[in-house]
Chain A
């Protein structure tokens, strides 16, 4: 029960952090870290893909309502939720579809955890920023937004993940 509450708290925490902190930091058009994706990253690695995708869609819907964007966040988060099982397999070598024993997030080697996190963040931001700009004429500009925002997002989410594992899960 406590574990579920931790995830509910995490959901609310990253949404509030995004809306009230990161959306209000105005350091230019290139600085737009999307840190709410941390919630999807931190879901248990052995969670059924259908639940991951539905929770990702819910997260997208909440962010759409909070930011006034009609569907943009749902498009990006649902795609990441759907692709997560493949990203895990690709970056950690684990196969969540088979009967393998899947280690918890905190048992992943740091290198694997970082790669998994970075790929998830990159995938999400590419879909988000490309769909937001909807123009190939600003391709370089969009690429720059992805790079700058992702560097910040990786650093912030790394600390959020560490905090979650150490303080909330007590591991």
Chain B
């Protein structure tokens, strides 16, 4: 017994090292982007204020560029608004108005938008997250889509605290979305390989898709995070080639914006997200019955 104690006394540093490494490896191996985002959301309750102030100073130096961009965007929206007004005036149909009012009242308007400011943003890791200055008390909830003010895809919200929220960036190797070439409805899978913060990949795009270098790539419209009719911009085709099995194209996309320089974003809530997700889950688990009777489809 004495010899055992003596032996342990001699190697306790090694034992402790193995224990700490073992626990850390276990935690790391079992961590997901979701656990990372949850930790970040909690940490931000402590250091978020300081980050907010530091980003405020940094933000001051980019105001000019942002103002120019916002002015352009306002001009664009004014044009659209004017067009809509003219259309409405031309077809002053009382019934149509009544129908729109009724849909809004019933909660059938599908998307809600909200502006937020980035207070922390990394682009030099393999799993990058963005912290925003708005949380649940401002109406932010997980699974809201995030775009730049000029309509470029940024990511989606994965965790929220009271005052802050954490976004899984498109520059995160766990990020998945779908995209398509403008003018072609075939869909490819968008992901990031972790190599360059300026490029993402679109894999499994049909070989029949019409594709040219320089073509614009937008969201597919089937994503629950981004409005189907909004055409959220992703970037431009930089190069493409057949995949190894020659069954589809793998496309390299140059991102439409430098994510490191983005400081303001727009959050988009899809009111139907939970209903659609529940319905899909029910169908996958075999609990869905189209004849009714306790299906999630019924309210």
Contact = CB atoms under 8 A, between A and B. Distances in A.
Residue among A68, A79, A131 facing the most chain B CB atoms (10 A cut-off): A68
B28 interface: yes
Q: Interface majority SS on A: helix, strand, loop or mixed?
A: helix
Given A28-B197, A138-B195, A74 B20 contact: yes
A29 B127 CA distance: 11
Interface string A122-150: 00000000011100001001000000000
B124 A31 contact: yes
Contacts, number: 101
Contacts of B285: none
B126 A133 contact: yes
Given A28-B123, A29-B196, 13 more contacts: A20-B54, A29-B124, A30-B124, A31-B124, A53-B13, A60-B24, A68-B39, A68-B40, A70-B35, A71-B26, A74-B24, A82-B13, A138-B195
Contacts of B12: 50
B260 interface: yes
Q: Interface majority SS on B: helix, strand, loop or mixed?
A: helix
Interface residues of A, number: 36
Interface in B1-52: 12-13, 16-17, 20-21, 23-28, 30-31, 35-37, 39-40, 43, 47, 50-51
A20 B50 contact: yes
A2 interface: no
B8 to A, nearest CB: 13
Interface of A: 19-20, 23-24, 26-32, 49-50, 53-54, 57, 60, 64-72, 74-75, 78-79, 82, 131-133, 138, 141
B195 A141 contact: yes
B121 interface: yes
A69 B16 contact: no
Contacts of A69: 28, 31, 36
Given A70-B39, A75-B24, A78-B20, A32 B13 contact: no
A69 B58 CA distance: 25
A68 B36 contact: yes
B117 to A, nearest CB: 15
A28 B124 contact: yes
Interface of B: 12-13, 16-17, 20-21, 23-28, 30-31, 35-37, 39-40, 43, 47, 50-51, 54, 58, 120-126, 129, 166, 193-197, 260-261
Contacts of A66: 43, 47
A49 B31 CA distance: 29
B13 A19 contact: no
B43 A72 contact: no
A50 B244 CA distance: 51
Contacts of B197: 26, 28-29
B123 A26 contact: yes
Given A26-B197, A29-B124, A133-B126, A50 B43 contact: no
B126 A132 contact: yes
A78 B195 contact: no
Given A20-B51, A26-B121, A65 B43 contact: yes
Contacts of B120: 24
Contacts of B166: 68
A57 B21 CA distance: 9
A75 B260 CA distance: 28
A65 B260 contact: no
Contacts of A138: 193-195
B36 A26 contact: no
